[in-house]
Structure 1
Amino acid sequence: MPIDFSGTWVLEKNDNFEDYMKILNIDLVTRKIAIHLSQTKVIIQDGDKLTINTLSTFRNYEMSLTIGEEFDEYTKGLDNRMLKRSIEVEKCSFYLWVGARATSQSSVLIEQTLVSWQGDTLVCTQKGEKANRGWKHWIEGDKLHLELYCEDVVCHQVFRRKQ
C-alpha cells in the first residue's frame, strides 16, 4: 500500500507559479491574485477513495475520485477544463482517462490523464493540447511537495502539515 497523503497542508513555498499559470493561458488578473493567496490542501485518502480540497480566500477546488469509477470534473478556477475521467486499478496504479472538451473554435481535443503510484510518489501525466504536462506529489517529513509541470515550465510548491 502506498503512503497515506491524508491531512491538512498549508502552503509555505510557491516557486514559479505565475510562469506555470501563464503556460496554461490563465488570464492576467487571476494570475496576479493567485500568486498572493495562501493555500491549504485537505487530503482524505481511504482505500480506493481520494479527495483533495484546495482552499483559498479566492477560490476553492475539490477533486474526489474512486478507483474504478468514472467521474466528471470541471477545473473551475484552475484552467477551466471540463473533463471526463475513468479510473481503473492495475498493479497498485490508478488511471484517470480524460475525455473530450470543446474549444472556442468548436473543435474537440482528446485529453488523457494517467495517475499512478511510483514508489511513494503520486505521479500524474496529462496528454492533450499541451506537451509534457502533469504533476507529482510526495511527502518528506512533515512537508508535502507538489511539482507542477507543463512544456518547459516547472512550479514547485511545498506545504507544511498542519497539526
Structure 2
Amino acid sequence: MALNLTGLYHMVSQENMDAYLHALDINIALRKIVCLLRPSKEITHDPETGHMKIRTLTTFRNFDMDFTLGKEFAEDLGPVDGRVCQTTVDWEGDKLVCVQKGEKENRGWMHWVEGDLLHLEMRVQGVVAKQVFKKVK
C-alpha cells in the first residue's frame, strides 16, 4: 500500500542546488536567489483516487503540481525554467517517482519518507540535487 504524504513540510537542508539549476540553464542571478530560499512543501494526497497536489511555497515564487498518479500530463514548468514537459508521477515501491520528458534528458525527481523527514532528489542530465524537509503538520 502506498504512503499518504499529506502534510506540511519545511526544508531543513539542501545539497548541490546551484549545479542542478545550472544544468537547467537557469541564469546565475536566479540561481543565487533560489539557493537562498527555504521552501515549504504542502502535499495533499488521496490514496484512494491517486490524486495529488504538491505546492512548493517560497517568499519568491510558488509552484503547484496537480496530477493523478500513473497518468501522463503536460506540466508547465514556466515558474521554474520556462519549459513544458510530459510528466508522469507514480510509486516505485515506497518512493514517489516523477519522470519529466522534454528538451532536457534524464529529468525528474523522487520523494520518500524516513520518519518525519521528506526527502526530495532532483535530477537532470546526470546532475543530482537533494533537499530534506521536516513534517510540521
Q: TM-score, normalised by structure 2?
A: 0.89
Equivalent-residue separation in structure 2 for 1:80 and 1:152 (angstroms): 20
Equivalent-residue separation in structure 1 for 2:72 and 2:98 (angstroms): 17
The alpha-carbon deviation at position 76 of structure 1 amounts to 2.6
- SS for the counterpart of 1:149 is strand
Equivalent-residue separation in structure 1 for 2:97 and 2:70 (angstroms): 18
Deviations 1:6-37 (A, max 9, x none): 10010111100010000000111111101001
Find runs of 4+ consecutive structure 1 residues off by over 3 angstroms.
66-73
Partner of 1:4: 4
RMSD: 1.8
**CA 1:126–1:66: 2 relative to 1, 3 Å:** closer
The alpha-carbon deviation at position 120 of structure 1 amounts to 1.0
Query: Is the 8 Å Cα contact of residues 126 and 133 (structure 1) preserved in structure 2?
Result: yes
- SS for the counterpart of 2:80 is coil
Amino acid at match of 1:118: E
Q: TM-score, normalised by structure 1?
A: 0.75
> Which blocks of at least 5 consecutive residues in structure 2 are unaligned?
none
Equivalent-residue separation in structure 1 for 2:71 and 2:100 (angstroms): 19
Equivalent-residue separation in structure 2 for 1:159 and 1:68 (angstroms): 24
Q: RCO (CA 8 Å, sep 6+): is it higher in 1 or 2?
A: 2
Query: Is the 8 Å Cα contact of residues 43 and 51 (structure 1) preserved in structure 2?
Result: yes
Partner of 2:106: 132
Equivalent-residue separation in structure 1 for 2:55 and 2:83 (angstroms): 17
Partner of 1:54: 56
Amino acid at match of 1:18: D
- SS for the counterpart of 2:36 is coil
Partner of 1:38: 38
Identity of aligned residues (%): 44
**CA 1:118–1:6: 2 relative to 1, 3 Å:** same
Number of equivalent positions: 135
Partner of 1:102: none
Partner of 1:77: 79
> Which blocks of at least 5 consecutive residues in structure 1 are unaligned?
84-97, 99-112
